[in-house]
């Protein structure tokens, strides 16, 4: 099962990795268009509301082929074509309809994004009970509304939505295919990262090697062959590179001196490099360092987030700016950003 799945994912990854003149990246709701040369340009900003560990995020996300941007607005999921998409569709499409604001003592119904499928043909999202809306002053414990909560699969070409039948003890992180997911299996004796084949009564879960299966966080390579994970042992964090099929677990970083010294590992699109965040000074420093493999390339006193743009470049948000860096820390561009009211999708 794993061998066939990895072969299919490798094909999707090779298709998505085709070099494009313009790339897009999403950081904390800011979607940037970045040419091979020239300055980055913001094309969309949707303020993220937050995330729920079980259900997903409200940050904007991009499809692997860079053709689609998904985001949350007005409690619902939307998609809009990027400039890379060769289509006559120019406006945002409302994917979910169940989302609704809270009112009185009734909680909102919220949509969350999980991911696009690896072939970019589908979007997985969830519908979950919200907590308190901004227009519900004085309400501390709102009542959940009756709704069809759960995970849903939206097929872009036919604008078709269907509810996914998934086990109740999982946290999905990425939709690989409509039947295969990268998940955390939640258990009574500990959680495990791995791959799920969803087949109704015959669900099949493949756990990673122990070091990564029991990690604090993991990022799966685009081709599914490896994962980069934060392992925590005796209160000390360390980044590992784990082979999915062969069960290997190789240290990328040194062993940390504290729980949060090494966090947020992400593999480059081609899987050749591992990026991660280090907090120096026994985790007491306010500064953060971005490392690529065994080298620190960026330091920031007001670090917010980072993301890979392509195999050779990253975007790093520090304060009110997003910098573009190569693998060696050379600054290739910077753009000022502001967490203001939402902008309309770039036409």
Mean pLDDT, all residues of the chain: 88
The residue with tokens 């085709």 is 18
Q: How far apart are CA 333 and CA 322, in angstroms?
A: 9
Residue 14's pLDDT band (cuts 50, 70, 90) = low
Of 138 and 158, the one with more pLDDT: 158
Q: How far apart are CA 101 and CA 160, in angstroms?
A: 24
Q: How far apart are CA 328 and CA 312, in angstroms?
A: 9
Q: How far apart are CA 262 and CA 275, in angstroms?
A: 10
For 92-137, the pLDDT digits (tens) are 899 999 999 888 878 889 999 999 999 999 999 999 998 766 666 6
Which of 13-27, 105-119, 230-244, 245-259 shows the lowest mean pLDDT across its residues? 13-27
- What share of the chain in percent tops pLDDT 90? 69
Of 116 and 36, the one with more pLDDT: 116
Q: How far apart are CA 209 and CA 197, in angstroms?
A: 18
**Could you give phi then psi for residue 153, rounded to 5 degrees?**
-115, 120
Q: Are 309 and 315 in contact (CB under 8 A)?
A: yes
Which of 4-18, 91-105, 110-124, 273-287 shows the lowest mean pLDDT across its residues? 4-18
Residue 86's pLDDT band (cuts 50, 70, 90) = very low
What domains can be seen in the chain, in order of their start residue? 209-347 (2.130.10.10)
Residue 87's pLDDT band (cuts 50, 70, 90) = very low
């Amino acid at each position: 099962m794993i061998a066939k799945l990895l072969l299919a994912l490798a094909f999707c990854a090779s298709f998505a990795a085709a070099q494009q003149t313009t790339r897009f990246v999403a950081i904390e709701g800011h979607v940037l268009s970045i040419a091979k040369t020239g300055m980055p340009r913001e094309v969309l900003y949707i303020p993220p509301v937050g995330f729920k560990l079980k259900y997903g995020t409200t940050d904007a996300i991009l499809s692997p082929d860079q053709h689609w941007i998904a985001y949350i607005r007005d409690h619902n999921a939307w998609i809009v074509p990027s400039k890379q998409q060769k289509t006559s569709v120019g406006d945002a499409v409302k994917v979910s309809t169940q989302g609704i604001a809270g009112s009185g003592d009734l909680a909102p119904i919220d949509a969350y994004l999980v991911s696009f499928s690896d072939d970019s043909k589908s979007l997985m999202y969830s519908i979950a009970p919200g907590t308190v809306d901004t227009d519900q002053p004085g309400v501390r414990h709102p009542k959940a509304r009756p709704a069809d909560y759960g995970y849903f699969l939206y097929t872009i070409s036919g604008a078709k939505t269907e509810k996914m039948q998934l086990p109740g003890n999982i946290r999905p992180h990425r939709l690989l295919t409509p039947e295969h997911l990268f998940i955390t299996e939640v258990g009574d004796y500990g959680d495990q990262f791995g791959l799920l084949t969803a087949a109704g009564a015959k669900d099949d879960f493949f756990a990673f090697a122990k070091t990564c299966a029991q990690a604090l966080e993991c990022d799966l390579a685009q081709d599914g062959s490896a994962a980069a994970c934060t392992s925590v042992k005796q209160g000390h964090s360390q980044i590992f590179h784990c082979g999915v099929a062969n069960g290997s677990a190789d240290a990328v970083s040194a062993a940390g001196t504290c729980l949060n010294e090494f966090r947020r590992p992400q593999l480059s699109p081609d899987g050749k490099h591992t990026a991660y965040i280090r907090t120096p000074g026994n985790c007491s420093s306010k500064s953060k360092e971005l490392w690529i493999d065994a080298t620190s390339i960026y330091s920031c006193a007001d670090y917010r987030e980072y993301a890979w743009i392509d195999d050779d470049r990253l975007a790093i948000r520090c304060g009110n700016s997003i910098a573009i860096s190569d693998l060696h820390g050379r600054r290739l561009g910077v753009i000022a950003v502001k967490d203001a009211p939402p902008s309309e999708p770039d036409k």
